[in-house]
Structure 1
Amino acid sequence: MDESTLYISDVRPTPRKVWKKPIGSLSAQGLSPMKTKDCKETTDPYCVAKYEVKSGSGTRTITESFSPKWNEQYMWEVYDPCTVITIGVFDNCQTMEQKLIQE
């Protein structure tokens, strides 16, 4: 008996690459201040992108900027067309734990 074309019972990711495209972190705008430095509010943002459970790629830290421009690019091999990409912007705190600014 043939399987219906409207229903697929095998939903596992394909063993071959679906695509390998560049994914980038361009910029952010209107970030919240995360600390006070020299009596003014500031943040030192960096961006981390990851997909599924794989570890992510991080950008460099842009110091004292609420509108950072990274213009960085990554290449990932994707095997599942339903892949979810998560991008988070963090504050680089040298003395404290890293704080999530935006996701």
Structure 2
Amino acid sequence: SISVSSTSTSTYFYYNITNTGNSPLNLVSTNFLPAVHLVNSPNSVMQNTSQAGLNCSIKYYNCALVPTSSYPLIGNGATDNNAPATNTNKFDHIINNLLPGQSVSLYLYYNLTSSC
């Protein structure tokens, strides 16, 4: 089982997932975003985790819901700046082997302009 918390401000969306079960988790956290524009500089996203070397990735979907490639997010403090130049309507955070008692969080940085 998992525990999830989230929050948002005028500049970022944040969520945290904790594995509260007894076995490792592999999951895809799919999220739909409101009409905001993910920034590319300095980072589109930043991952934090309590699990050393956690191997995750992110895939963005543009206004037409066409996916990008998957970009790696490995370990604590991992960042990516490959959000689509237009807008991002959806993203998948792919989490691999999150161990019991460990957590992973993701910050998505945006501005309030919408280009869709």
Structure with larger RCO (C-alpha < 8 A, sep 6+): 2
**Which category describes the TM-score, using the shorter chain as reference length?**
0.3 to 0.5
Q: State the TM-score, normalized to the length of structure 2.
A: 0.35
Structure number with greater Rg is: 1
Give TM-score scaled by structure 1 length. 0.39
